Structure 1
Amino acid sequence: MDRADLAADVVRRLAHVTAALRHRQDSVFAELGLTPAAARALHELDPDRPSPARDLAERLGCDRSNVTALVDKLEQAGLVERRTDPADRRQKTLVVTGPGRGVRAGVVEVMSDSRLLAALSDEELRTLRDLVWKVSDDGCPEQCDTR
């Protein structure tokens, strides 16, 4: 197998791993009553620090109008509330509710689920982490570094 074929095989396998992770996550999100987009939005909210919707839009890398629809869904489900910011009464902040904290914990758990990697030894896991880091470095902001 030449380098181009080898690289193509790796890309196909990475795509398969990504699809397997996404399928598992989407299934659990559906069980939690969330769309993948709503789950990601809830994941990005810090339950201990209310923040304006524009901050959430920035973290999600999307238009604020899209965030409004996501927050509407989360609010209708009782997971998030819009509250007036005591420091600036003209502004609303997003607050994760008590039930929202529980659902968010489930979202965080499934987004960190590593069962797919259970067959790897610690050494293999470190090697895979380092290799994935190496190939993702160009597309990932410095803040992604959790080593």
Structure 2
Amino acid sequence: MVPSTAAPGDRAVLAGEAVRRILHVAAALRHHQDEAIAALGLTPAAGRALHELDPDHPLPARDLAEQLGCDRSNVTGLADKLEQAGLVERRTDPTDRRQKTLVVTARGRQVRDRLRQVMSDSRLLDGLSAAELATLHELVWKVSDGGCPEACGEI
């Protein structure tokens, strides 16, 4: 363990160092995820879009855009890529024939299952004991509960 450069009791310095380390860990996790997503033949954005889709509940593109926190025009391009890869199909919504929904295909389900594994990759935590992992889990949960959107609990 690398000691803090802060004097004992210097809360602001300790908090700043902790935030920088959290950002470093987040960047490392994102890097590993992006590499694994690319190995599946997807861009990180397309992979995250597929990850957000529920195979059992077709979703309009506008709803996916809301879940991803992006503009609907961006989702159109992502849906095009996923459809070209055979991972989703656009189908007419049976309850509103003016609207198209995104339906995950059988191949899309397989790739999505792999994506779920990628998004849960914990190799950076391999060096922690069970007790350390439990403590980390508790602290991250405590911190993320303070202002994190509800969707954070689903990641």
Aligned match of 1:17: 25
Distance 1:34 1:95 in 2: 17
> Which protein is richer in helix relative to its size?
1
Cα distance change of structure 1 residues 143 and 20 upon mapping to structure 2, 3 Å threshold: closer
Distance 2:24 2:153 in 1: 24
Aligned match of 1:80: 88
Q: Alpha carbon RMSD of aligned pairs, Å?
A: 1.6
Distance 2:24 2:152 in 1: 22
Provide, for residues 64-92 of structure 1, a one-character-per-residue CA deviation record: whole Å limited to 9, x for no partner. Answer: 11111111111111111100112221111
Q: State the 1:61 CA deviation.
A: 1.1
Aligned match of 2:138: 130
Aligned match of 2:110: 102
Distance 2:77 2:151 in 1: 28
Distance 2:126 2:104 in 1: 32
Equivalent pairs, count: 146
Distance 1:48 1:16 in 2: 35
Distance 1:143 1:58 in 2: 11
Distance 1:44 1:123 in 2: 31
Distance 2:65 2:101 in 1: 13
Q: State the 1:60 CA deviation.
A: 0.7
Q: Return the TM-score normalized by structure 2.
A: 0.86
Cα distance change of structure 1 residues 35 and 143 upon mapping to structure 2, 3 Å threshold: closer
Distance 1:40 1:8 in 2: 29
Aligned match of 1:49: 57
Cα distance change of structure 1 residues 142 and 29 upon mapping to structure 2, 3 Å threshold: closer
| Identical residues among aligned pairs (%) | 72
Structure 2 unaligned runs (5+)?
1-5
How do residues 3-42 of structure 1 correspond to structure 2 at under 5 angstroms? 3=10, 4-42=12-50
Q: Return the TM-score normalized by structure 1.
A: 0.91
Runs of 4+ residues over 6 Å off in structure 1:
none
Indicate whether 1:64 and 2:72 are aligned.
yes
Distance 2:54 2:101 in 1: 12
